[in-house]
Chain A
């Protein structure tokens, strides 16, 4: 049975997007170049966008990791000149399974704080518009009237803010994210109790 687009968007928002940062960090640790990571991640979202329903997916996190892994494998196979060990290595990349770990739960609780931080970090003009629109709940038109600018300007600034926030949410940080372990023999996949 198909799901509505808003349902899928809400699911991606809650179950996929929060894990993108980890997927990027994971790909990066395996020596994948930054622009290739961008492509892999974008392709992964394309595949999700093509789904009629996501209700069969038990874990957005695992799904994102596995999809990224598949895309990477396909790309490498298509590239013809491939170090034979690269494929083998990627095939056995150990994806940490996605029982909701205590860390993830804790991270979830921090989300409001995170939204606050993301918004406060925006450049001033952008932030002003973002606060009025997203926090105070004013309409684009009222904001334009209040600030004496065109609605297009408000819209453009909103898009810019969204873009900056998306980057801040998903870009890699130098610290290793929780819930991800290096692949290899030492790894134990986490399961629930």
Chain B
């Protein structure tokens, strides 16, 4: 075979193709053009796969929006809210345009009071005070900024609140539990008559309405589990654990020694395909790894391979089984 192109030159062209394919998914001419290019040299298919994989990796860049490095409206960044409100149709088009690329769906700033996600969805909601609420799978919140209070109720699910600093208190209600702050980043989850919170920035006071107890003072690095009856437990977690618990923002699940049972419970939050562990010993095995939350099958297969189990699929159920060992 004649080698007219170096690997580097192929990589250059492959990058152009990866971008084109992403931008012009619906262009029918593109597919035939691509076929011609790919047929020109067998090495090109590898280079294209690699470039597309890099682009896929860069999708996590969406999670950087509003972070310190990209927050200032300098030459390289523009204000997101201005873009959507001021940009009018263009802003909406931009928001719609990314829907196919990123799994984070966005909504324009409107004085709507209720936001919800379906199973497996992640939704970023910019609120009118500059706070950004990011809703995890199967989550519902109500927002009411009236009467000198920024009030949000978490009806179900889990949400990350990046609360903008303001003189008005920001209060999240989760059942009878109240979380009050002036500025914080925290994620709150409501489940089984309990509320859990992870504070990564600022401070939060937590209490149970009408329980007559003194508020619990939480600061960055604190994680707390508060029951509706007022019992609570506060722990301190390190940054690694914080990242693990917030991996859902980028559609991932990190496992760092959780049991199969715990991992399965996590996966089952995100997909209609439910994993069932049919063996007690298997359920208690510990697992480590990184997975996409929308790929329970990949997790089940990994468990099967590493822990000598079998995977049985039955409609929407993925059953993890293990022959009884003698």
Contact = CB atoms under 8 A, between A and B. Distances in A.
Contact of A50 (B45, B67, B240): B45
Given A8-B49, A38-B8, A136-B78, 17 more contacts: A9-B56, A13-B52, A13-B53, A13-B54, A17-B53, A42-B10, A42-B46, A58-B305, A115-B64, A116-B64, A127-B76, A134-B59, A136-B65, A155-B19, A162-B54, A162-B55, A166-B15
Nearest to A16: B53
A139 B97 contact: yes
A9 B58 contact: no
A11 B75 CA distance: 35
A180 interface: no
Interface stretch (A81-89, A103-111, A182-190): A103-111
A115 B288 contact: no
B113 interface: no
Contacts of B250: 112
A115 B19 contact: no
Contact of A166 (B54, B87, B91, B288): B54
A-B complex: 10 closest residue pairs judged by Cβ atoms: A46-B46, A45-B46, A139-B97, A38-B7, A137-B98, A13-B56, A12-B53, A134-B61, A163-B15, A13-B53
A153 interface: no
Contact of B289 (A100, A112, A131, A138): A100
A49 B42 CA distance: 10
B284 interface: no
B240 A106 contact: yes
Interface residues of B, number: 74
Interface residues of A, number: 68
A10 B20 contact: no
Contact of B65 (A9, A38, A135, A169): A135
B170 interface: no
A94 interface: no
Contact of A10 (B46, B56, B75, B90): B56
A120 B240 CA distance: 23
Contacts of A112: 60, 63-64, 250
Contact of A42 (B7, B18, B104): B7
Nearest to B13: A159
A33 B256 CA distance: 38
A131 B52 CA distance: 18
Interface of B: 6-8, 10-12, 15-16, 18-20, 23, 42-43, 45-65, 67, 69-70, 75-78, 80, 83, 87, 90-91, 93-95, 97-98, 101-102, 104, 106, 240, 243-244, 250, 254, 256, 286, 288-290, 292, 295, 297-298, 301-302, 305-306
Nearest to B42: A46
Contacts of B10: 42
Nearest to A50: B45
Given A109-B244, A136-B83, A142-B94, A42 B43 contact: yes
A9 B290 contact: no
10 contacts: A45-B47, A46-B49, A105-B288, A115-B57, A116-B64, A134-B62, A136-B78, A137-B102, A142-B93, A166-B54
B94 A139 contact: yes
Contact of A100 (B69, B290, B301): B290
Given A135-B64, A136-B77, A158 B49 contact: no
Contacts of B42: 46
Interface string A158-188: 1110110110010000000000000000000
Contacts of B58: 115, 118, 134, 162, 165
